[in-house]
Chain A
Amino acid sequence: MSRIVARHGWTLGLLAILVLLFAFTKVIQPNFGPTGLDSLSRATLPFAFATAAMAIVVIAGGIDLSVASMMAVAGVTTAVMMDGAGTGMTLFTVVAVLVIGLGMGAINGALIVVTRVPDIVVTLAMLFVWEGVALLILKAPGGAATPWLREIIVGPFLVPWLPKSFVFLVVCLAVVWIPLRRSRLGLSIYAIGSDELAAYRSGIAIGRTRIIAYALCGLFAAMGGLTLTMSTGNGEPIPGPYLMASVAAVVLGGVVLGGGKGALLGPIIAVFILRLVRMDLTLMSVDPNVTTIVEGTIMVVVVMIGGVLAMRGRRQ
C-alpha cells in the first residue's frame, strides 16, 4: 500500500485536488450535475489530447512546440474532407487524419534526429510550417463535420453522470498508451528520456525511438484536431491556445521536463483540474483579467510544493 502511495503520490494528490474542486463547485453552484460534467468533459477533450501529445515527447526527453499547429492541420483536414461526406468517407477521413498526424510527428522527429538541431528549435520552426499548411488547406473557418460523428461526444453514456466524451477520451488514450507502456518500445521511450547514453549502451536505437515518440505525439495531436472539429462542427486554421496549456498540464501532472519520469494519468487529471478551475472562476464571475493570474498562480504553487516535497523525500 505505502509503496503504491509513494510511487503515485503526485497523481493521488492531484486526484484529491480534483475531488475537492468538484465539491467546491457543487457548493458554489448547487445545480451542478450531469450537464455540468458533460460540459466540463467536452471542454477537456482538445486539451487532454494536446497534453497527451506533449507528455509523450517530454517523457522521451524532448519537447514539441508544434502541437497546437499540428492540431490545426488535423482539424482543418477533417473539416474539408468531411464536408458533405457519407459514412464511408467519414471513416476514411478519421483514419487518414490519424495517419497524417503520425506523419507530421514523424517529420518533426526525423528532422531532429537527422539534422541534430535542438528539438526546441526544430519544433518552433515546424510550428510556423504546420500553421502555414493549415492556412493553405483552409484560409478561414469552414468545412463541416459529419453529424453522427459529432454525436459521439455529446450526452451521457449508460448512466447520467458519465459523459460520452469522457469515455471517448479514455478509450482513445488507452488504445495507444496501455499497449505502448507494456511494450519494449514504451520502455525505450522512458530510457532515452532518462539517460540517453545508458539507453544507447543497452542497445536501444535512439534515433528510431525518438522519431516514434514524435510520431505518437503527432497521432495524439491529430486526435485533438479531430475532437476540435467534432465539437465546433468546422475547421479553424488558426491554432488554439493548446501549446502552453499542454506544457502546463504536463508539468502539473508530474512529468519531469528533463524526461524519463511521469505518465499519462497525472497530466490528464491536471487538465481536468485546470478546466474545472476555469469553470469555477466563471461561475463566481471573477474579473476575467484576474482569472489568468489565478490559473498561473495555481500552477506555480502546485509545482513549487511538488518540488519541495520531492526534495524532502530525497533527504529522508
Chain B
Amino acid sequence: MKRHLTTTAALALMATGLGSAAFAEAHGGYTIGISNTVQGNGWREEMVCAMKAQALVSGQVDSLNIAHRNTDAAGQLEDIRNLIQAGVDAIVINPSNADGVNAAIEEAIAAGIVVVAVDQAVTAEGAYILSNNQEEYAYLGASWLFEELGGSGSVVYMRGAAGAGADNDRDAGFQRALAEHPGIEVVHEVFTGWQQDQGKQQILDYLSTGLPVDGVWTSGIDNVIVDAFIESDVPLVPIVGADNAGFVGQLASVEGFTGAAVTNPGSIGGAGVTLALQILGGEMPASNTVLVDPSIWANNDPEGIALIEAAQNPNLDPEWPVSVMIPGWTTYSMDEIIACAGPGE
C-alpha cells in the first residue's frame, strides 16, 4: 500500500513537473490567450504564427497562452475557460462555430477580458469580430469559374468539412453563383474535410471514372487537385483554389493551366492580436465587426498575373496562404512570421 502511494505520488509530480520549465515568469505587460480548434492545417498554422509574430513585434505582450488542438465547440469552451483561469488580458479565438462558444466568451467578458474572434463570427454580445467574408469567398471564385466556362458545363464541387460553419457559409455563396448560371451542372460534390490527401484521392477516383469535368471549384484544397490532373494525364480544366503558396506557384508555372486563387488571409490572426491590443490600450474600433473581403487573382488577366507574380515566395510552406500580411493590421516581416516565434520563445 505504502509503495503504491509513493509510486503514484512520484508519478504525479513527474507528470506535472514536465511543463514547468515553460511556465512563464510573471512580469508586466499583457498576456494574451489564443484558442484554435484545428491543428495541422496550413491555413490555421499560418494564423497561429501570425498571432505569435504580431505579439512579438508589438512589444506589448509578455506571454502568449495558446490552446491549439483539434476539438469541438465543447472543447473550445474548456480552453476559453482555462484561459480565463490563467488570468489573461485578452483572448483571440477562431471560433468553432458562431453560437457554440458564446457561454465562455460571455464569462470572459464578464471577467474583464477583451475577446476578439477572427476568421469566423460569433454572436456573443461584447465580442469583437475580425472575419473573412466566407460567403463572398465562394461566390467570387465560383462566378469566375462559371464565366470562364461560358455559362455551361460540368463542374466538380470540392467542399470543406461537412457541418463546419465556414463550409456552410461558402456553400451559400457557391449556390448563389450557381443560381445565376443555370447552364452549369454540378456533376460531383464531395467533402475534402480540408485534408490534402483526402481531396487528392477523391479527385483521382473521379478522374478514373472518365466522367466529364469542365471545371473544379475547391474550398482551398487546391494544389493537389492540379497535381492529380497532371498525374492522371487528364487535360487540365479551369480550377479555383485559395491563395495557398503551392497553388499560386502552379498558377504561375504550370503550362496550359487556367485558374484563379481567391484570397483568404490566415494572417487575420495577427490582425486579431493588433485589434485586441488596440482595445486594451483604450482605442475602440468604430464597429464591433470588421469584415475582410476577399479578392480574386486569375492567371488569365494581366492584373491577376501581376499579383500572382508578386506573391511568389519559395520560402513559404506550400499549404500556407501567400497573403501573410494585412496592411494596416500586421507589422511583422516575412522572416518573422516564417520563424513563428512568440514572446519569450
Interface residues of B in 28-45 (CB under 8 A from A): 39
- CB-based contact A13/B8 at 8 Å: yes
Bits for A225-236, please: 1 = Cβ < 8 Å to B, else 0: 000100111101
Please pick, from B13, B15, B97, B164, the residue contacting A234 in the complex, using a CB distance under 8 A: B97
Tell me if A283 counts as interface (CB < 8 A to partner B): yes
CA gap between A95 and B78 in the complex, in Å: 27
From B22, B39, B74, give the contact of A240 (CB < 8 A).
Answer: B74
Which one of A29-37, A54-62, A84-92, A194-202 is at the interface?
A: A29-37
Q: Is the CB of A238 within 8 A of B12?
A: no
- Give min CB distance, B224 to chain A, whole Å: 22
B82 touches A39 (CB 8 A): yes
Interface status of B71 (Cβ within 8 A of chain A): yes
Indicate with 1 or 0, residue by residue over A269-286, a CB within 8 angstroms of chain B CB atoms.
000000101111111111
B1–A5 contact, CB under 8 A?
yes
Interface centre among B5, B18, B74 (most CB of A within 10 A): B74
Contacts A2-B1, A43-B81, A240-B75 given; does A309 touch B7 at CB 8 Å: yes
Residues of A within 8 A of B87 (CB): 29, 31
**A164 located at the interface, meaning its Cβ lies under 8 Å from any Cβ of chain B in the complex:** no
- SS class, residues of chain A in contact with chain B: helix
Q: Does A288 contact B (CB under 8 A)?
A: yes
Do B23 and A285 touch across chains, with their CB atoms under 8 A apart? yes
Chain A residues, Cβ within 8 Å of B23: 28, 284-286
Interface flag for B288 (CB, 8 Å): no
| A residues less than 8 Å from B24 (CB atoms) | 284-285
The one of A20, A28, A294 in contact with B18, judged by C-beta atoms closer than 8 angstroms, is A294
Q: From residue B31, how far is it (CB to closest CB) to chain A in Å? A: 8
Any B CB within 8 A of the CB of A307: no
* B234 interfacial contact with A, CB 8 Å: no
CB neighbors of A among B150-196 (8 A): 161-165, 167-168
Chain A residue contacts of B11, Cβ below 8 A: 17, 301-302, 305
**Nearest-Cβ distance from residue A315 to partner chain B, whole angstroms:** 14
Q: Please indicate the chain B residues that have their CB under 8 angstroms from the CB of A302 in the complex.
A: 11
- CB-contacts of A248-297 with B (<8 A): 275, 277-292, 294, 297
Cβ–Cβ contact A305 & B163, under 8 A: no
Choose among B65, B68, B163 the residue that contacts A237 (Cβ–Cβ < 8 A).
B163
Name which of B98-106, B265-273, B292-300 contacts chain A: B98-106
Q: Which residues 277-328 in B have Cβ within 8 Å of A in the complex? A: none
Contact-residue size bin, chain A (C-beta under 8 Å from the other chain): 35 or more
Pairwise interchain contact B86-A282, C-beta atoms closer than 8 A? yes
Of residues 67 through 93 on chain B, the ones whose CB sits less than 8 Å from some CB of chain A are 67-75, 77-79, 81-87
In the bound complex, how far is the Cα of B73 from the Cα of A281, in angstroms? 19
Given known pairs A29-B85, A29-B86, A279-B85, the reply for A285 and B65 (CB within 8 Å) is yes
A1-55: which residues lie under 8 A (CB-CB) from chain B? 2, 5, 9, 12-14, 16-17, 20-21, 24, 28-29, 31-32, 35-36, 39, 42-43, 46
B9 CB-CB contact with A under 8 Å: yes
Do residues A288 and B7 form an inter-chain contact, with CB atoms below 8 A?
A: no
Contact between chains at B68 and A238 (CB < 8 Å): no
- On whether the beta carbons of B162 and A237 are closer than 8 Å, the reply is yes
Shortest CB-to-CB span from B285 to chain A, Å, is 26
Stretch at the interface among A99-107, A113-121, A135-143, A214-222: A135-143
Q: B residues within 8 A CB of A232?
A: 73-74, 77, 97, 99-101, 103
Does A241 lie within 8 Å of B4, measured CB to CB? no
> By the criterion of a CB under 8 Å from any partner CB, how many residues of chain B are at the interface?
57
A298 is an interface residue with CB less than 8 A from chain B: yes
A39 and B1 contact, CB distance less than 8 A: no
Give the CA-CA distance A287 to B21 in the complex, in Å: 11
Return A144 CB to nearest CB of chain B, in Å: 8
Cα-based distance from A301 to B163 in the complex (angstroms): 37
Check A228 against B74 for contact (C-beta < 8 Å).
yes
Q: Which residues of A contact B8 (CB under 8 A)?
A: 13-14, 16-17, 305
Q: Which residue of B lies closest to A36 (CB)?
A: B85
Residue of B nearest to A237 (CB): B163
For A20, list chain B residues within 8 Å (CB): 9, 12-13, 16
Q: Is B244 an interface residue (CB 8 A)?
A: no
B235 interface residue (CB < 8 Å to A): no
* Bound CA–CA A252/B89 (angstroms): 36
CB of B77 within 8 A of CB of A42, answer yes
Q: Are A139 and B163 in contact (CB under 8 A)?
A: yes
With A42-B77, A43-B77, A282-B65 in contact, is A16–B5 under 8 Å at CB?
yes
Chain B residues with Cβ under 8 A from A288's Cβ?
A: 39, 66-69
User: A281 CA to B79 CA in the complex, in Å?
Assistant: 11
Any A CB within 8 A of the CB of B59: no
Shortest CB-to-CB span from A301 to chain B, Å, is 7
B63 an interface residue at 8 Å Cβ cutoff?
yes
CA distance A231 to B163 in the complex (A): 18
> Given A20-B9, A233-B103, A39 and B85 touching (CB < 8 A)?
yes
B73 near A279: Cβ-Cβ < 8 Å? no
Q: A20-B16, A140-B165 are in contact. Are A285 and B66 (CB under 8 A)?
A: yes
Q: A29-B85, A139-B163 are in contact. Are A233 and B102 (CB under 8 A)?
A: yes
Contacts A/B (CB < 8 Å), 7 sampled = A13-B8, A20-B16, A233-B100, A279-B78, A282-B82, A294-B18, A305-B7
Interface residues of A (CB under 8 A from B): 2, 5, 9, 12-14, 16-17, 20-21, 24, 28-29, 31-32, 35-36, 39, 42-43, 46, 134-135, 138-141, 150, 154, 228, 231-234, 236-241, 275, 277-292, 294, 297-298, 301-302, 305, 309
- Kindly list 11 other residue pairs between chains A and B, CB separation below 8 angstroms, not including A13-B5, A20-B9, A305-B8: A5-B4, A13-B7, A16-B5, A35-B84, A135-B163, A140-B163, A236-B72, A280-B16, A282-B65, A282-B82, A294-B15
5 closest Cβ pairs, A-B complex = A240-B72, A43-B78, A288-B68, A39-B81, A141-B97
